[in-house]
Amino acid sequence: MKKCLKFTNLEEELSDLHDIYKNSLQKEILVIKKIDKSCEKFQKLSDSFSELKLAEYVIFSKFMNKEYHDMEMFVFIDGTGNTTCNLSGRDLDLYNMISECDNLVEAGQY
């Protein structure tokens, strides 16, 4: 059976990421975004949640309905995939704080 991958270099880029997250990202159940640490919003949040300073990426569900945003869980990871913290939608929203991961290569046909 052919293995379907969304990202061809996920294992290399995020070697410490838990398998459940890797599989969920590859199957597009979850999405990963790069954190814009230079934005004012992130800087204010990291004053309240110091673990955020270690994070490079955030993983979350692409299927969460906006009306349930306060119950959504965001998993923040460092540059190798280690979890730095988990925060809920009650604590923050990600708008204007994230961007695409330019280091992850999407497979052409998956």
| pLDDT tens digits in sequence order for the chain, 110 residues long | 356 789 999 999 999 999 999 999 999 999 999 999 999 999 999 999 999 999 999 999 988 878 877 889 999 999 999 999 999 988 888 888 999 999 999 987 54
Task: Give kind and range of the element (H or E) at residue 76.
Answer: strand 73-77
> Residue 1 has what pLDDT?
37
Residue 73 lies in a domain: yes
Number of Cα atoms under 13 Å in the Cβ half of residue 5: 12
Residue 70 lies in a domain: yes
Full domain range(s) for residue 26: 16-99
Residue 55 lies in a domain: yes
Task: State the alpha helices, DSSP H only, in the chain.
Answer: 10-13, 19-26, 40-48
Residue 90 lies in a domain: yes
Q: Which two tokens stand for residue 70?
A: 């306060």
Residue 10 lies in a domain: no
User: What torsion, rounded to 10 degrees, do the Cα atoms 76, 99, 36, 65 define?
Assistant: -50
Residue 58 lies in a domain: yes
